[in-house]
A and B are shown apart, each in its own frame.
Chain A
Amino acid sequence: MRIRREVEQEKNELNMTSMIDIVFLLLVFFVMTFKIVEMEGDFTVRMPLAGNGQSSTDDLNLPYKLRLHADGKGALTSIELNSMNMGTDFDKLRAEIVALVGTGEPIEGDSGPEIEIDTDYNLRYAHVIQAITAVSGYRDQGTGQVVKLIEKIKFAKPRRG
């Protein structure tokens, strides 16, 4: 007697195991290498060597002098703009710069106002960036646009010791 087997419907299934293995490997690689990047930007400072533009003694347009004092630990103790003490308040410094420079159209080229930053050697670098931020402009509260103040920034000679 002939036994007839029921025709089984063959399932045409792909073997997914190897693909899933690779996919998970890729996923692990991307998860491990993923790092949230912080947005970064630059303050551009053009400082040719002394002799070309550093000496401003015979220059009629003398740069503003910003002096930053620090204590032994590098904390900011006082800010002086043209020998005018303004505590440690960067907003006050900005207000003073606005009063000096005005908020009109920024002067393009080399004829704009210039500021020389003279800091104590051990002052925290973050305070210098705060000072540069205060003198170079501010963000308008209403429009969110950046209003530029002083674009030419230079450093005095380092005060070692």
Chain B
Amino acid sequence: MKVKSKKVDLAEGDLTPMIDMTFQLIAFFMVLINFSQTESNERVVLPSSTLVKPPDKPLEFPIILHVAKDGEIILGGDKYTTETLGSGLRRELAVLKVEGKSPADANVIIRGHQDTAAGQIQEIIKVAQDEQLEQFALRAKEDRS
């Protein structure tokens, strides 16, 4: 006698295409992810210019100053005003000195909000000049239109 065992049919879909697509998506995002986002600040909307181009190589010894719309300066996560910025810059320069470099070797990258007062940027440059800094880079976003 033949005994038939009844098996419950499991409704199994073929997962292969879904997994393929998911891995493709992961690969896409992994390639495009940019961890150098630390350079940007959500409070700063850069002005645009048709002439600027991303540099071929990053600037040496950068000191990045974010200038918000209200004129607040952000350096290394700390907030400063033009009056207190000098102390922050001196701290950065101390690190530079340990590496055997002079202030003239440093590049001050100013990421100013497009609506901030131009005088504020001038004052920041003046404070940096007082700390013997000479090289400034005014950052703007590329306008391809």
CB neighbours of B19 from chain A (8 A): 16, 19-20, 23
Are B29 and A46 in touch, CB under 8 angstroms?
no
Given the complex of chains A and B, what is the CA–CA distance between A127 and B134 in angstroms?
Answer: 23
Q: Is A104 an interface residue (CB 8 A)?
A: no
Are A38 and B142 in touch, CB under 8 angstroms?
yes
CB neighbours of B129 from chain A (8 A): 47-50
Are B26 and A159 in touch, CB under 8 angstroms?
no
CB neighbours of A122 from chain B (8 A): 117-119
Which of B50, B114, B122 is the one whose CB lies under 8 Å from A124?
B114
Count A-side interface residues using an 8 Å CB cutoff.
Answer: 58
Q: Is A41 an interface residue (CB 8 A)?
A: yes
Q: Is A99 an interface residue (CB 8 A)?
A: no
B62 smallest CB distance to A (angstroms): 10
CB neighbours of A27 from chain B (8 A): 22, 25-26, 29
Q: Is B52 an interface residue (CB 8 A)?
A: yes
Which of B53, B67, B122, B136 is the one whose CB lies under 8 Å from A46?
B136
Q: Is B38 an interface residue (CB 8 A)?
A: no
0/1 per residue, A118-150, Cβ < 8 Å to B?
011111111111101100111100000010000
A9 smallest CB distance to B (angstroms): 12
**Which residue of the partner chain A has the closest CB to B117?**
A122
Given the complex of chains A and B, what is the CA–CA distance between A129 and B1 in angstroms?
Answer: 93
Are B121 and A128 in touch, CB under 8 angstroms?
yes
Are A5 and B117 in touch, CB under 8 angstroms?
no
Q: List 13 A-B contacts (CB under 8 A).
A: A26-B26, A34-B32, A38-B142, A39-B142, A41-B55, A42-B52, A119-B122, A120-B119, A124-B116, A124-B117, A125-B67, A129-B138, A130-B47
Give B residues with C-beta under 8 Å from A: 1, 3, 5, 15, 19, 22-23, 25-26, 29-30, 32-34, 37, 40, 46-55, 59, 67, 104, 109, 112-123, 125-126, 129-130, 132, 134-142
Give A residues with C-beta under 8 Å from B: 1, 3, 5-6, 16, 19-20, 23-24, 26-27, 30-31, 33-35, 37-50, 68, 70, 74, 119-130, 132-133, 136-139, 146, 155-160
**In the A-B complex, the 9 residue pairs with the closest CB atoms:** A41-B52, A121-B119, A30-B29, A42-B137, A126-B47, A158-B122, A126-B114, A39-B142, A129-B47
